Structure 1
Amino acid sequence: MTDRNRIRPWHGWPGLYCCLLITVLTTKLAACPFCPGASVPLTEKLTHAHTACLVRWVEGDTGTIEKPGHTVFKVLKVIKQSQSTQYEKGSLITVNHYHFSKPGGPFLLTGTHGPKPLWENPTAITPASYAYVMQAPSLQKPTTERLQYFLKFLEHQDMIIANDAFAEFANAPFEDIVPLTPQLPREKLHHWLSSKSTPAPRLGLYGLMLGLCGNEDDIDFMEDKINVQAQGLRSGIGGLMSGYLMLTGGEGLDHLERSKFQQKNTSPNELFAAREAVSFMWTYGKGRYQIPPERLRQSMRMLLNRPELADLVIADLARWQDWTVMDRLVSLYDAEGYDYKGIRQAIIRYLLVASRYSDPSDGGPDATTAARARKYLTLIRDRDPQLVKRAERFY
């Protein structure tokens, strides 16, 4: 039995835009903020697939400019299939993409829809990783309960298993990881953060985890990592800084300010990571870890001294409803080093938020603050009417 897959239909730019928007919002709100490029876990692929088979590579053709490539797989085992498909052991499946493999190489092949499934890219599989995913808890179980299973497979010697276990954590809400604190492997985390063999995208997650389960013996280790004044982008340093703040509270924030915010030679990359850590504490640490909200605002205000981060910092302060910096922001509108469109737009958006009176007991601007913001907006509108008009469309 041979089947040739169809090409997914193209629905145009609006559909793509909505998908991208949903992806961005989901990533920011639900997933680990320091885990770049996390893949879709195998359990999720299997759950959402209508058809899933364990297959082996038979042959493939790279294709030409006139003819697309293809790959032929032989079914070793049917894991699941819809009533409209009739695959069995020995069936041949042809996928309209070329995937290189040695003859006989095993893959997990998943597809959706109808008697002629739309096949996803095949996933290389090993006997160990196949057993791992087949024994994994279903998506219907609580996330924390599921993560207990995947925790023991982090940095597994089988790369497929290690990558997938990381993906499960990277895609999980941080609040679902916190209950696992007593089970987190502190000594292993310490080792993984020190090892050059640990893949860089995982370092941020491991830094967060060490912050959850670490103790005083880990503080010096984390400070040594943080104190490095690197010029390039250090993978995972934002997660390590966040874990450090969870472990040390206000004293750690003091150290972060001295070692990063107050040093003139601190690179924008290092400042960006430190800002991410402070922002993480605002989102996940309020009421915990001994750092009051006003102390976090104070720390973020220090970064207004760095024009290269000013637009991001201004957005944070507006989101955190810090109205104490309004006069200073207006003074920066024409200041040397700050006279860029992105910074000016951020200042205008801040004033638009501040100009809308709301309940001060809930952190919103009081009537006096709102009136002052409207006055500043009038002055800026006289100068940059188009810039203000553009910003007002979204408020």
Structure 2
Amino acid sequence: MMFHRFSLAAPLILLAALATTSNAVACPFCNAVSQTLRQEMEVMDAVVIATAMQSDATRNKETGEILMKIDVVLKGDDLLKVGSEVKAVYYGEVKVGRRFMLSGVDPPDLQWSCLPINERSEKYIIAVTKLDDDPLERLRFFYDYLEDKDSMLARDTYDEFAIAPYSAIKELAPEMDHDQLVKWLQEPEMSTDRKRLYLTMLGVCGSKKDLPMLETLMTSTQKSTRGGLDALIACYLTLAGEQGLPLVNKLFLANKKAPYADTYAAIMAVRFHGTEGEVIARSALVESLHHVLDRADLADLVIPDLARWKDWSQIERLKNLFINADEDNNWVRVPVVNYLRACPLPAAAEAMKELEKLDPESVRRANTFFAIPVPAKDTGSSSSSVRRKATRKYAALPIVRDHQDPGSAKTGTLTASVSPVVPSFPPQLASDVSSSNPWTLLHVLAMALAALMIAQFLLLTGGAVVKQA
């Protein structure tokens, strides 16, 4: 019977996690490597600091259990007390007196997971449990551990910044060490994920004096130097403003020889500035995206952006893209149809009639699988700023190619899918779906999970009826 309880609970847990994730507006170019210690402790029934009372020589070698004494109760003081003894499974090397953070679930017979800690990490963990709920206050604490010598603390801190609201990162700008960020960015061994974070941070605390360095990084031919290119371009545009667009166009958007991954990174940077960058007008950003329309194999990547940002100047150009598409790039046709469906101008309706005669299947596919794209609301703050609304969502998702290698122009079969999977894709932008469209990924999953739970309930109750009969 316990099995059935978990079977019904699992979809609810997954749905709750999806709902929480979908509402997060996190660091735009950072991807958390793992769950943070703070997040882990939040979902546990009990968290304690304990000391091993056995060594490898005296513990239960068959089960791996170690007897431990609880020294500090961080969570779950209604379940256990300081001085209590518990048994936890740990297969690593252990000596009497070694300290652990134990995380327990399923009371009253708690099942423990073990994390070895030292004196420094113990102080860190205890401090984390006392942090304020305010994201800015949390970042102030974690900032000092970004490049900590203890790899566990450095990793946990990076993940905390990766999930932090971008607004909190901007608020932290006056307290950032600009010169230290620049130094970290110039370290050849710095990992790409951390470069993305530090570039995002430099974008909010830097100045035009940083532009020569950023230009050097963008034009470098060394892969290690150009790691996190999407965040690098976004940082450059944040500091350069609209005056930085010509160089980005020249290097990545108008340059037909630019590798796919480089152009895609530039598109993501432009997309960021069109949603929450707040420094460049969308009217200037769409002009940069127009260059990508000259590359028939990549045009579908930017057509949805033009529709979202209400750039209706490309009707004739997109109609020609549709007409001239061949078997190597016919995936562009559905995004074109979606653009025309969103456009309120009579010319779009006329173009749609013409294209439907040419390829009724593409028009049918667009109407079947996609809601009418809803343009993003005007920011209203100023003509030269672009303010992202936290509730604004994407209007259209294109039919795209299956790019196995981000650096390759290889195409695959036509598939109803979201944009190509590239590690640098900002997570929150992936969930940008029109608020007027009920068929968002979250809603579809919610309905599927609800159907699953109903089916399980009927199966269980039906089985019970049969047994009673």
Q: TM-score scaled to structure 2, two decimals? A: 0.67
Match of 1:390 in 2: 368
Match of 2:423 in 1: none
Tell me the secondary structure at the aligned position of residue 160 of structure 1: helix
Tell me the secondary structure at the aligned position of residue 198 of structure 1: coil
Shift of 1:169: 1.1
Match of 1:41 in 2: 36
Match of 1:225 in 2: 217
Q: Is the Cα contact below 8 Å between 1:84 and 1:115 reproduced in 2?
A: no
Structure 1 pair 17–160 and aligned structure 2 pair: CA distance change class (3 A) = closer
Match of 1:93 in 2: 87
Matched, 1:325 2:287: no
Alpha-carbon distance in 1 for matches of 2:329, 2:172: 45
Structure 1 pair 317–231 and aligned structure 2 pair: CA distance change class (3 A) = farther
Q: Is the Cα contact below 8 Å between 2:254 and 2:292 reproduced in 1?
A: no
Alpha-carbon distance in 2 for matches of 1:272, 1:257: 12
Structure 1 pair 116–185 and aligned structure 2 pair: CA distance change class (3 A) = same
Q: Is the Cα contact below 8 Å between 1:53 and 1:77 reproduced in 2?
A: yes
Residue 339 of structure 2, aligned match among 342, 350, 367: 350
Q: Cα RMSD (Å) of the superposition?
A: 3.5
Which aligned pairs between 1:157-176 and structure 2 lie closer than 5 A? 157-176=149-168
Residue 147 of structure 1, aligned match among 128, 139, 142: 139
Tell me the secondary structure at the aligned position of residue 324 of structure 1: coil
Q: Is the Cα contact below 8 Å between 1:307 and 1:338 reproduced in 2?
A: no
Structure 1 pair 76–392 and aligned structure 2 pair: CA distance change class (3 A) = closer
Alpha-carbon distance in 2 for matches of 1:215, 1:30: 25
Shift of 1:32: 1.5
Tell me the secondary structure at the aligned position of residue 302 of structure 2: helix
Structure 1 pair 309–137 and aligned structure 2 pair: CA distance change class (3 A) = farther
Tell me the secondary structure at the aligned position of residue 94 of structure 2: coil
Alpha-carbon distance in 2 for matches of 1:14, 1:393: 27
Structure 1 pair 17–127 and aligned structure 2 pair: CA distance change class (3 A) = closer
Structure 1 pair 41–388 and aligned structure 2 pair: CA distance change class (3 A) = closer
Match of 1:9 in 2: 6
Which aligned pairs between 1:42-81 and structure 2 lie closer than 5 A? 42-55=37-50, 72=66, 74-81=68-75
Structure 1 pair 132–244 and aligned structure 2 pair: CA distance change class (3 A) = same
AA aligned opposite 1:221: M
Q: Is the Cα contact below 8 Å between 1:352 and 1:392 reproduced in 2?
A: no
Structure 1 pair 170–193 and aligned structure 2 pair: CA distance change class (3 A) = same
Matched, 1:32 2:10: no
Matched, 1:316 2:325: no
Match of 1:184 in 2: 176
Matched, 1:115 2:108: yes
Alpha-carbon distance in 2 for matches of 1:8, 1:203: 44
Alpha-carbon distance in 1 for matches of 2:315, 2:136: 42
Residue 233 of structure 2, aligned match among 241, 249, 259: 241
Tell me the secondary structure at the aligned position of residue 310 of structure 2: coil
Structure 1 pair 231–161 and aligned structure 2 pair: CA distance change class (3 A) = closer
Alpha-carbon distance in 1 for matches of 2:359, 2:51: 66
Output one character per residue of 1:189-236: Cα deviation in whole Å (capped at 9) or x when no partner.
111111133232111010111122223332111111111246799532
Alpha-carbon distance in 2 for matches of 1:172, 1:7: 37
Higher relative contact order (CA 8 A, sep 6+): 2
Alpha-carbon distance in 2 for matches of 1:184, 1:144: 12
Instruction: Note the residue ranges of structure 2 that are not aligned, 5 or more in a row.
Output: 373-436, 438-469
Structure 1 pair 90–112 and aligned structure 2 pair: CA distance change class (3 A) = closer
Shift of 1:113: 4.4
AA aligned opposite 1:86: L
Residue 103 of structure 1, aligned match among 89, 94, 103: 94
Q: TM-score scaled to structure 1, two decimals? A: 0.79
Q: Is the Cα contact below 8 Å between 2:50 and 2:99 reproduced in 1?
A: yes
AA aligned opposite 1:93: K
AA aligned opposite 1:108: M
Tell me the secondary structure at the aligned position of residue 52 of structure 1: strand
Shift of 1:346: 2.2
Output one character per residue of 1:32-59: Cα deviation in whole Å (capped at 9) or x when no partner.
2321243222223223332002245666
Matched, 1:213 2:205: yes
* Range that drifts further, 206-215 or 373-382: 373-382
The share of aligned pairs that are identical, in percent, is: 27
Q: Is the Cα contact below 8 Å between 1:318 and 1:353 reproduced in 2?
A: yes
Shift of 1:240: 1.7
Alpha-carbon distance in 2 for matches of 1:279, 1:242: 9
Shift of 1:270: 1.0
AA aligned opposite 2:27: C
Q: Is the Cα contact below 8 Å between 1:34 and 1:204 reproduced in 2?
A: yes
Shift of 1:243: 1.1
AA aligned opposite 1:352: R
Residue 247 of structure 2, aligned match among 236, 247, 255: 255
Q: Is the Cα contact below 8 Å between 2:70 and 2:86 reproduced in 1?
A: no
Shift of 1:294: 0.2
Q: Is the Cα contact below 8 Å between 1:352 and 1:377 reproduced in 2?
A: no
Structure 1 pair 100–338 and aligned structure 2 pair: CA distance change class (3 A) = farther
Shift of 1:324: 1.6
Tell me the secondary structure at the aligned position of residue 333 of structure 1: helix
